[in-house]
Amino acid sequence: QVQLVESGGGSVQAGGSLALSCEIDGRTFGSPYTMGWFRQAPGKEREFVAATNWAGRKRYLDSVEGRFTISRDNGENAVHLQMTSLKPEDTAVYYCVAATPGTLPIEAREYKSWGQGTQVTVSS
């Protein structure tokens, strides 16, 4: 369990871009945690978006692969999500998450640390 702080989010037009960032609060050294993003839209279940482990392996939701890029620097306690070609269906609250080092799960229950969430709204 670690404290996660998201930044970014906001409102953009369809086809636009937006970047999200997440930091582990209170730490300045590198972290081995798997880190990623979930999202939840009104009336829909919580949905895995992307994750990356300390070795640099990445997983993406099929509908965002090729449009979203997750990245991390092992020398910093942060993970980033660069979102391009945004669509109205990407509108959701996005949550930064962290899981046990060495894993790369897609199940929400495997992520033990969650940020407060940040709203992303894409208008058509």
* Segment 66-117, tens digit of pLDDT: 999 999 876 777 899 999 999 999 999 999 999 988 889 999 999 999 999 9
Kindly indicate the confidence band of residue 28, based on its pLDDT and cuts at 50, 70 and 90.
low
- Residue 27's pLDDT is what? 60
CB count within 10 Å of CB 121 equals 15
**Separation CA 53–CA 99 (nearest Å):** 9
Q: Is pLDDT larger for residue 35 or for residue 25?
A: 35
- Residue 77's pLDDT is what? 78
Residue 24 has pLDDT above 90, yes or no: no
- Residue 30's pLDDT is what? 61
- Supply the DSSP string of 39-51, one letter for each residue: EE-TTS--EEEEE
pLDDT tens for each residue of 37-64 = 999 999 999 999 999 998 889 999 999 9
- Residue 103's pLDDT is what? 87
Residue 22 has pLDDT above 80, yes or no: yes
- Residue 25's pLDDT is what? 76
**Separation CA 16–CA 78 (nearest Å):** 23
Percent residues over pLDDT 90 in the chain:
77
